[in-house]
Amino acid sequence: MNFTNHSVLQNFGNKMLKKKLGFAIFFLLTVLTSVAQTKIKGSIKDIHGVPIAGVSIIEKNVSQNHVLSDFDGNFQMTLQKPNSKLVVSYVGFVSQEVTVSNNTVDVVLLESVEQLSDVVVVGYGTQKKSRVTSAIASIKEKDFTRGAIRDASDLIKGKVAGLTISTGSGDPSAAPNISLRGVSSLKGSTTPLVLINGVPGGIDTVSPNEIASIDVLKDASAAAIYGTRGANGVILITTKNVNKEMQPTMTYSTFTTVSNFAKKADFLDANGLRSLMSQGVKVPFTDEGATTDWLDEISRSGFAQNHNLDLKGGTAKTNYTVNLNYVNQTGVFNGTFNKEYRFSFDVNHRMFNDRLKINLNLLNGTQKMGISPDTAGYAYRQAMIRNPTAPVYNDDGTYAETNRFQYYNPVAILNETKQDRQSTWQRFTANLTLDLLPGWDVSALLAKNKNSGLDGYAETKKHYSNTINGRNGVASRTTGQTDRDYVELTSKYNKKIDKHEFTLLGGYSYQYTVNEGFSAYNFDFPTDAFSYNNLGAGNALSDGKASMGSYKNDDKLIGFFGRANYNFDNKYDVLFSIRREGSSKFGENHKWGNFPAVSAGWSINKESFLSEATAINNLKLRAGYGVTGVIPGESYLSQTLYNYDGYFFNDGKWVKGLVPASNPNPDLRWEKTAEVNIGVDFGFLNNRISGSFDVYSKKTSDMLWDYSVPTPPYLYSSITANVGKMENKGFELLLNIVPVKTENFMWNSSMTFSHNKNKLTSLSNDLYSIDRNFINTGDTGDPISFTTHRLEVGQSIGNYWGLKSVDITDDGKWIIETSDGTRKTLTPDLYNDANKQYLGNGIPNYNAGWTNTFTYKKFDLSVVMTGAFDYQILNSQRMFYENPTINYNMLNSAFDKVYDKAVLNYNQTYVSYYLEQGDYVKVDNVTLTYNFDVKPYKFLSAMRVYASANNLAVITKYKGLDPEIPRDNVLSQGVDNRDKYPTTRGFTLGLNVTF
């Protein structure tokens, strides 16, 4: 009985165990099936079958599962869930949700004709491109110039109509000259305001690799919201920001550049000099037996290396971007170099259900530079004029020098000069945005910016300045620092009701700046070992010939601003903005100013009467008016200032005297520019042809100038006052064309063309005036020393003023033509204004840029060309050295017949013969890129190599080294300085890898 019961229980237990085991197996299979991962692959193309790289593919509802298409448009990923959908998105295309039905997914993306996802950065925010009513140019990262890029300006050179960017110097530390829509000020800043993520900064302080977009506010209706700083336009630089969930990625990019002189001046060499001697031609030298290439003695091949590392990653709540950049560039002149170290850290964090967004950004940079362009330029001058048969060193190893006036050994100049120029910058920015209600958010931006600089300079005992003056070395040290606190509070509200959409913006900004610095100078040191690091050791302290000085000043700028945007039915847009701004630089009677703006846009292509015109994708008419300003450059110009100067005897002691240094001006205020802009944006044939056309008129009033005044009743002999008026008128054209677009080949072409005409309309009023309504400006320099330009009411800025040469006598004397048509042989008594006339203008009337990009399979070829037209250049090198009468070396062309008639036999002088047509077309950059197939390498997501050449070729009739010249002096535009650091031509190899 017991046995039977045990068997029954055992059978029952076995059955239950089998059931449990089966259930467990079933449950395990179910779980495994539910979490099974599916590997898929696919391709992304446009409607023409052209692969699209960089497309975002995300598994829906699994945001961490995210990949990008490679350069062939292909991708691979592993799905985390069954029956998943893919969200496929890319800028400029309509996003799609794709259901995965098998292991291969092929997606065709449709272009978003209206480009609604294309966002333009505007003052204090962003705006959809289709809603823009002002003249704004937006350049995205994909359109940046590649290759050996020095700073942000190189990325967009030639790509923004009306924005002229010129360097014209081979100095590795040279800053670009940037201007927009002509010259609007004589004493104030003429460069655009540069904002980096909304904070004022230098265009060279941020690594080009870190930049996501550059937007240029060109007209006053866009820039008026920046008030007294917006008259020259605004450049908005936006750095890369993750602000979303993404897997950690690392991008490393590097390039190496070798550069040499693009062109060398054709001076007499040793063989040429000896040939002239053998022919009996009178030359200023004797044959000293050597054969010296002086330019070669002070120069070398330039070399540059650039390394950049980007780190990105994070979750949807917290993400980060880190950028490390290192630049090391040696110039073609010995002792010139530029080293830069940049670090930036950007972190985003969301909290309180994403209603509060926090962005923290830290930027730190250091720049170290060698011998300055002025010192290198002077050594270059000496190398050009030196006897090519003279040796570099004497037999005893000392530098070969002579007692000839202003004639020094250029090798000694560079070898015996030590100069360290350093600058550092730190900027910390905190940006908090709180979403109070749907459509309404408030933001607070806090920034601290600190820039400091050091210039240490020393000349050893062997330097020519010490050997001729009997001194034992010279040294100086100069330091400077700028601290700027920046606070900005904004509130923005957006509401859409049916066909009406409103956006309101209000804000407050505060900027406080402190500048301070120190300098000291001494000479006669016991040793050269101190350099500039022990100034107290110099003996000049004992005899009172050493010097020192320091300074400190501050200024405050406060603004209240508001803007309203209205859109109706996606067809009609209106913008109104106003800024009320006050500055401590202004006089008591004008502490505050108002800067209004209004603009409107009409999207004509969205009207019903064009609904059938399928070839028209975009046709928008824009019109705007605004008032901007230029703030005085210095603090305390409106106040009475005194200097301590001289001594007087009082109560048995010598007391330092106090003398006036400036007059009070309670009416000192900003320069005001009112501008009207009318433009049209267009796009045809699926945007295969697109662009914009703008015409503008800018009128500047209350322009600052220094006027002579009588003493008494004034305390000082001059006063800075707002009197002048000026106007600029012009047009700008941007044209983008896609001539060819096939499966394997695409050609994109972008052209810019601009024209600006400047006119000075007034420099006098009832209180202050200039003599005879003109001022002669500019200086040719010793030993000629003539003014080169005339600033006259009713004329343009940049006009050359001088003697018009038309012929030469049989014995080599200039023949000039006076303003009444009379011809005279030039004599010293004719050097007066009665015989001078306008000879041309140094500012290009037209500027152009042309960028072509060709893509074939894995190859990309980019060609960037720039040009300037209808202007003249004063070739100073020819004016000084194309003359056989001088006591120095000269150009080979000095013995050519002038006007095919006679060899010149007249002292160096400034005449129109040396003014040349400056028109040019330059091949600025050519870059060939190969994009690797990285599919076999799971740790790589992209890799490309490229070869690039910059300043490759110039088409011009100009005889000088380069028709693209520095334009840092408003009042003497177009002078090609004889000591200018010559431009270079560089060849680059680069690599970009994303892990």
Q: 672 forms bridges with which residues in the sheet?
A: 629, 701
Q: How far from the centroid of its chain's Cα atoms is residue 828's Cα? A: 45
| 340 Cβ contact partners less than 8 Å away, ≥ 6 residues apart | 325, 326, 327, 365, 366, 367, 368
Retrieve residue 586's tokens.
């202004």
Query: What is this structure's pTM?
Result: 0.86
| Residue 63, pLDDT score | 63
How much of the chain exceeds pLDDT 90, in percent?
A: 61
Retrieve residue 946's tokens.
């490229």
Tell me the one-letter amino acid at 728.
N
Q: How many helices (H) and strands (E) does the chain have?
A: 9, 52
Coil vs helix vs strand at 113:
coil
Which carries the bigger pLDDT value, residue 18 or residue 926? Answer: 926
* pLDDT over 50 (residue 791): yes
Residue 910 near residue 893 (C-beta atoms within 8 A): no
pLDDT in tens, 503-550: 999 999 999 999 999 999 998 899 988 888 888 888 888 777 888 999
**114-118, 145-149, 434-438: the lowest-pLDDT one:** 114-118
Q: Which of 100, 265, 123, 101 is nearest to 877 (CA)?
A: 265
CA distance 678 to 739: 28
pLDDT in tens, 891-913: 999 999 999 999 999 999 999 99
CA distance 291 to 917: 36
Q: What is the DSSP secondary-structure string of 191-243?
A: SPEEEETTEE--TTSS-GGGEEEEEEE-SHHHHGGGGGG-TT-EEEEEE----
Locate all alpha helices (DSSP H) within 836-912, ordered by sequence: 876-881
Confidence of residue 91 (pLDDT cuts 50, 70, 90): low
Q: Which of 301, 305, 306 is nearest to 259 (CA)?
A: 301
Q: What is the DSSP secondary-structure string of 665-684?
A: -TT---EEEEEEEEEEEEEE
End-to-end CA distance of the chain: 76
| Residue 909, pLDDT score | 95
Confidence of residue 48 (pLDDT cuts 50, 70, 90): low
**97-101, 747-751, 802-806: the lowest-pLDDT one:** 97-101
Locate all alpha helices (DSSP H) within 35-93, ordered by sequence: none
pLDDT in tens, 558-612: 999 999 999 999 899 999 999 999 999 999 999 999 999 999 999 999 888 888 8
| Residue 47, pLDDT score | 67
Locate all alpha helices (DSSP H) within 407-523, ordered by sequence: 410-415, 464-467
Residue 557 near residue 579 (C-beta atoms within 8 A): no
Average pLDDT of span 339-348: 93
Place of tokens 């610095």: 517
pLDDT in tens, 65-87: 878 887 678 888 888 877 788 88
* pLDDT over 70 (residue 229): yes
CA distance 788 to 975: 9
Q: Is residue 780 left, alpha or beta, with left meaning phi > 0 and alpha meaning psi from -120 to 50?
A: alpha
Q: How far from the centroid of its chain's Cα atoms is residue 992's Cα? A: 23
**6-10, 342-346, 924-928: the lowest-pLDDT one:** 6-10
How much of the chain exceeds pLDDT 70, in percent?
A: 94
Average pLDDT over the chain, rounded to an integer: 89
| Residue 112, pLDDT score | 59
Coil vs helix vs strand at 297:
helix
Q: How far from the centroid of its chain's Cα atoms is residue 150's Cα? A: 9
**195-209, 259-273, 847-861: the lowest-pLDDT one:** 195-209
pLDDT in tens, 826-878: 999 999 999 999 999 999 999 999 999 999 988 999 999 999 999 999 999 99
Helix, strand, coil abundance in the chain, percent, nearest 5: 15, 50, 35
Retrieve residue 647's tokens.
């001594």
Q: What is the DSSP secondary-structure string of 800-845?
A: EEEBEEEEE-TTS-EEEE-TTS-EEE--GGG-SGGG-EEEEESS-S
Q: Which of 872, 855, 994, 893 is nearest to 249 (CA)?
A: 994
CA distance 498 to 1: 88
Q: Which run of H or of E encompasses 267?
A: none
Coil vs helix vs strand at 344:
strand
CA distance 853 to 749: 6
| Residue 30, pLDDT score | 44
Average pLDDT of span 9-16: 47
Tell me the one-letter amino acid at 139.
I
Specify the DSSP class assigned to residue 333. Answer: B
Retrieve residue 296's tokens.
């070669």
Confidence of residue 347 (pLDDT cuts 50, 70, 90): very high
Retrieve residue 649's tokens.
């005897």
Place of tokens 């010192």: 375
Phi, psi angle pair for 835, to nearest 5°: -105, 0
Average pLDDT of span 148-161: 91
Which carries the bigger pLDDT value, residue 64 or residue 542? Answer: 542
Residue 235 near residue 222 (C-beta atoms within 8 A): no
**22-36, 619-633, 926-940: the lowest-pLDDT one:** 22-36
Q: Which of 788, 642, 668 is nearest to 187 (CA)?
A: 668
Which carries the bigger pLDDT value, residue 976 or residue 937? Answer: 976
Give the strand pairing for 193-196 and 234-239: parallel
* pLDDT over 70 (residue 9): no
Q: 483 forms bridges with which residues in the sheet?
A: 450, 514
Q: Which of 293, 290, 291 is nearest to 261 (CA)?
A: 293
CA distance 534 to 967: 37
* pLDDT over 60 (residue 307): yes
Q: What is the DSSP secondary-structure string of 750-767?
A: EEEEEEEEEEEEES--SS
Average pLDDT of span 967-992: 91
Residue 211 near residue 237 (C-beta atoms within 8 A): yes
